[in-house]
Amino acid sequence: MASTRYASDRGLTSRMLVTMFLLGLVYVAFVTAFFVIVPKFGVIALVIAVAFLFAQYFFSDKLTMFAMHGRVVSPDEAPELHGVIDRICAMSDAPKPRVAIADTDVPNAFATGRNQKKAVVCVTTGLLRRLDPVELEGVLAHEMAHVAHKDVAVMTIASFLGICAGLITRFGLEWGLWGGFNRRSNDQNTGLILLAVVGVSALAYAVSFLLTRALSRYRELSADRAAALLTGRPSALASALTKVTGEIARIPTNDLRQAQAFNAFFFTPAFGKGFTISHLFSTHPPLDKRLAQLQKISDQLSRGV
């Protein structure tokens, strides 16, 4: 944060440290339990987990771009988009990220990359069609705030344990349903080991899920605040939030379902109309809360506070 003009956020920094510490404890407990339950496969599981973390951390930008069908564009291909990014870089004194476009009608944007040098800011064609330049500036300032705050890298690492535990739980259940419990020899031992592995994995997944969701909601408020203060136009960001949320509700359900896997990285979550159970564990705070914060910042700026 010292190298940019984005407003610092001690609350976000402390939350990231606490989240990483707690997830580290969960990870140690998870690996220890795995070694105790299935010592023969513990080393193999640990090697696979480390390799997975390495790939996720160093190639998260490429994996996300590939999954979203995004492509890096040059200033000649997207001069207006690059112009907005250049203005934000000048205001924030931040290094310019790679600029990308994803060809989808879902109006959204996201930032990815383990540090500022590897950062990519991607917008969808649906977003470019719907926002005016001032609103787009607010959205992109929000995404670049994530890079400046380093919370993109933290979320990439933090999500690692949940993904591993979720995969083990899934494969363990499938193996038990289709193979493990259908064998008569050593049924009891196999069943108990399988249940223990699935139980530990499910618990680790639940804890990591709740921790990352809580951090994700706060980091969105932090990025909104930093972007509004940097641009001095909280109303533009509020307008973009309102417009994008309304437009997303009109997107076909199938398209939204494909995009929901990336909600943690999006400017606003890909949810349709109405309330669902998924809203309870959303990666983003409610729209009303984000708008209320922006209105408060607007009032403060108007009073010169």
Q: Write out the catalytic residue numbers.
A: 143
Give the strands of the sheet with 120-124, arranged side by side: 70-72, 98-102, 120-124, 109-112
Give the CA distances from residue 224 to residues 2, 16, 126, 227, in Å, rounded to whole numbers and listed in that order: 19, 17, 21, 5
Which residues does the annotation place in the binding site for Zn(2+)?
142, 146, 220
